[in-house]
Amino acid sequence: MLFYGMIGGRNRCGGAKLDTSVKRSSLSIILHMLRRAKRHGLSYAGVSAMAVAASLLPVGWAEAMRLLFDAAYALDSGALQTAAIWFGAVFAAEVTIVTAQAFLMQRLSNNTTLDLQRDVLNNLFVMRLAKFSGWHTGDKLQRLNQSAVSAQTGMNQKLPELVQNVLSIVFLFAYLTILTWELMAGAIVAALLIPLLSNWLSKPIRTNQERTNENQAVTDAALLDQLQGAEVARSYGLRPHFNKRWEAAWEATRKRWLRTDVLRSVMNASVGAGFSLGQAYVLGMGAWMVTQGTLGIGAIAAFILSYERIVFPLAYLANTWAAVQDSLAHAGRVLELAEEPARAAPSSSHATMNHAPDLPERADIQLENVAFQYGGMPVLQQFTATFRHGRTTAVVGPSGSGKSTLLKLLLGLYPPDSGSIRYGNVELNPNNWRAWRETAAYLPQNAAMLDATVAENIRIGKLNASDEEVREAALLANAHSFIETLPDGYNHRLGEGGGRLSGGQQQRLALARAYVRNPRILLLDEPTSALDAANEALMQESLRSIMRDRTVIVVAHRLSTVRDADCILYVEDGRVVEAGTHGELMSLQGRYAALVQAGDWADAAEGGLA
């Protein structure tokens, strides 16, 4: 079954006897988000065109007001008709532009949010498990939901509004300067105080918002822990501890929110002061110019209306920029998930995806000098083995010796730091891991159950399995009898995490999931360790059936399972130190024999050591 160059001689085994998110600038995040959404370029062009058109509307209203007041002052009915036409045209344009703009923005936000969330989900499935496990589930959910939505709302609504406000200011500035540069020169001095104050306050607002997001993620994580650990909290009397932990996280978040609100209030107050100062100048200076005959009544009316329309965009510019900063903070968080490097990308040294060698139908699995570290700690070291086709290999050893990690490497969930894994003459790498997994089934200690029907959970093993195939798999896994007792049979929903089933029932469904896949290779990670005697007996009966004529690698805790294996590996400190059959290893009187003789097995009390 396996080859190890550690022990002299030959045996039946076929071998010898023995984090942090990267800080980015606002411009960098904006450009990055736009590049990711380039497939929506036409929609962005439409939103941009509407923003430009909307920014011209204040000039249209100002000119209509000037024509109206000049016509009324001159008692000119023809000019009044012209002014009325101007008002009608501007009104119709505004209704059309605002309606189209709202529709385009919302559609773009929905589409890009869906794309971003899809990208994040896809990357979560391929990123390194060590990194994936480093984020709390609550943090990942917060980034996927709240941060993704906020990021795209800022990009597709707040940012266009910001551009529109800037253009409105530019166009109105030019128009009012043509009307009367004297008023414009004085008014703009007061008005410029607004963006200066806004720019000064925007950086602390963004920094504080980033910390608020981080605190919110901690709060969500604490709440999720409290919900998921409700049973543990009750049984150990830990509810006050969980509540205190959540309340502390919530209080830190509340303080951050309060600080952000204070900063925004200061910004709004500064905007109001700048507006009032400029308005006083316009009214006073404008009235004096009218009395001197240097400014027409229509011009002063247009200026008063337009001054509000130039200052309000400036005022709103402050709020919009703060909202954009908020969205960019969210964008940075979601990009960290969307762009975390995958486990291992196909390299130029590997065959391309389209030309990857086909996997053989029947072959041995060979590991050569495989090394792997997790969190900087070595787990497997120079691990060399050959798993023979159609044979059962049991992997035993002390806790933490790398047994379960070995199975995850064989599934391609972790890439080895060095060494190679081969199936026959084909090296397994990122180009063929997917095809390789289609030949294997993995049964862990606690199989994940979806909040779906019984049939849908079994079909995870084979999505296109027929009803007959699902039923046959359930029969072989000794699951059909209890499924028939459920209220809706195979259409019965399992609830979150399969909570409506017992642990033994969940494991039998997981075994049916493996059956329906009809795998060539079966990887078992102590699948009966958490079961009672009755459920384990049913599982063992089913396992013997599915293991027949397949390549099986089982991490075992039962001596009965180990003793019947074609080959046994004793793993310690990430290395194989003994290999052989039960009889061969007992004769060796090494570590395996010591383990058996010490009775350190789950079925020792049942006479399994005899």
Indicate which CATH number applies to the domain containing 52.
1.20.1560.10
Q: Is residue 183 part of a domain?
A: yes
What pLDDT score was predicted for residue 100? 93
Would you state the structure tokens that stand for residue 405, as one six-digit string? 């990690």
Q: Is residue 105 part of a domain?
A: yes
**Residue 440 above 50 pLDDT?**
yes
* Banded model confidence at residue 5, pLDDT cuts 50, 70, 90: very low
What pLDDT score was predicted for residue 8? 40
Same domain? 74 vs 201 = yes
Would you state the structure tokens that stand for residue 392, as one six-digit string? 């059962």
Reduced to 3 states (helix: H, G, I; strand: E, B; else coil), residue 567 is strand
Sign of CA pseudo-dihedral 190, 192, 195, 196: negative
Residue type, 301: A
Distance between CA 11 and CA 409 in Å, rounded? 25
Taking only Cα atoms into account, the Rg of the chain, rounded to an integer number of angstroms, comes to 35
What pLDDT score was predicted for residue 3? 33
Reduced to 3 states (helix: H, G, I; strand: E, B; else coil), residue 304 is helix
Helices (DSSP H) in 518-581: which residue ranges? 533-547, 559-563
* Banded model confidence at residue 263, pLDDT cuts 50, 70, 90: confident
Q: Is residue 13 part of a domain?
A: no
- Greater confidence (276 vs 95) lies with 95
**Residue 68 above 70 pLDDT?**
yes
For the segment 333-349, the average pLDDT, to the nearest whole number, is 61
Percent of the chain with pLDDT over 90: 4
Which of 279, 309, 338 terminates a domain? The answer is 338
What pLDDT score was predicted for residue 95? 94
* Banded model confidence at residue 361, pLDDT cuts 50, 70, 90: confident
How many domains would you assign to the chain?
Answer: 2
Lowest mean pLDDT segment, chosen from 253-257, 412-416, 530-534? 530-534
For the segment 115-142, the average pLDDT, to the nearest whole number, is 71
Q: Is residue 287 part of a domain?
A: yes
* Banded model confidence at residue 195, pLDDT cuts 50, 70, 90: low
Q: Is residue 544 part of a domain?
A: no
What pLDDT score was predicted for residue 96? 94
Asked whether the beta carbons of 206 and 213 are under 8 A apart, the reply is: no
For the segment 213-237, the average pLDDT, to the nearest whole number, is 73
Q: Strand 551-555 and strand 392-396: pairing?
A: parallel
Q: Is residue 396 part of a domain?
A: no
**Residue 217 above 60 pLDDT?**
yes
**Residue 550 above 80 pLDDT?**
yes
What is the end-to-end Cα distance of the chain in Å, rounded? 25
- Greater confidence (191 vs 369) lies with 369
What pLDDT score was predicted for residue 15? 45
Same domain? 164 vs 309 = yes
**Residue 380 above 70 pLDDT?**
yes
Q: Could you list the residue range(s) of the whole structural domain that residue 461 is in?
A: 447-518
* Banded model confidence at residue 26, pLDDT cuts 50, 70, 90: confident
What pLDDT score was predicted for residue 603? 47
Distance between CA 46 and CA 48 in Å, rounded? 5
Q: Helix 26-36 vs helix 297-338: angle between axes, to the nearest 10 degrees?
A: 70
Task: Please list the residues that pair with 392 across neighbouring strands.
Answer: 552
Reduced to 3 states (helix: H, G, I; strand: E, B; else coil), residue 441 is strand
Sign of CA pseudo-dihedral 109, 112, 118, 119: negative
Helices (DSSP H) in 411-532: which residue ranges? 433-437, 454-458, 467-476, 480-485, 503-517
Residue type, 262: V
Number of C-beta neighbours around residue 365 at 10 A: 23
Task: List the CATH number of the domain containing 465.
Answer: 3.40.50.300
- The rounded mean pLDDT for the chain is 78
Residue type, 464: N
* Banded model confidence at residue 53, pLDDT cuts 50, 70, 90: very high
pLDDT tens-digit map of 92-110: 999 999 999 999 988 888 8
* Banded model confidence at residue 134, pLDDT cuts 50, 70, 90: low
**Residue 592 above 80 pLDDT?**
yes
What pLDDT score was predicted for residue 515? 87
For the segment 570-598, the average pLDDT, to the nearest whole number, is 87
For the segment 2-18, the average pLDDT, to the nearest whole number, is 40
Same domain? 134 vs 268 = yes
**Residue 394 above 50 pLDDT?**
yes
Sign of CA pseudo-dihedral 372, 374, 380, 381: positive
Q: Is residue 178 part of a domain?
A: yes
pLDDT tens-digit map of 170-192: 898 888 888 888 888 877 776 67
Sign of CA pseudo-dihedral 482, 486, 491, 494: negative
CA 30 to chain centre: 19
For the segment 554-574, the average pLDDT, to the nearest whole number, is 83
Residue 405: φ, ψ to 5°: -65, -35
453 secondary structure, DSSP code: B
**Residue 11 above 70 pLDDT?**
no
For the segment 442-459, the average pLDDT, to the nearest whole number, is 84
Distance between CA 210 and CA 147 in Å, rounded? 11
Percent of the chain with pLDDT over 70: 82
CA 515 to chain centre: 31
Q: Is residue 8 part of a domain?
A: no
Distance between CA 285 and CA 279 in Å, rounded? 10
Which of 471, 501, 518 terminates a domain? The answer is 518
**Residue 288 above 70 pLDDT?**
yes
342 secondary structure, DSSP code: B
Q: How many CA atoms lie within 13 A of 376 on its CB side?
A: 1
Which of 473, 498, 518 terminates a domain? The answer is 518
Asked whether the beta carbons of 364 and 386 are under 8 A apart, the reply is: yes
Q: Which residue from 360, 451, 377 is spatially nearest to 417, judged by alpha carbons?
A: 377
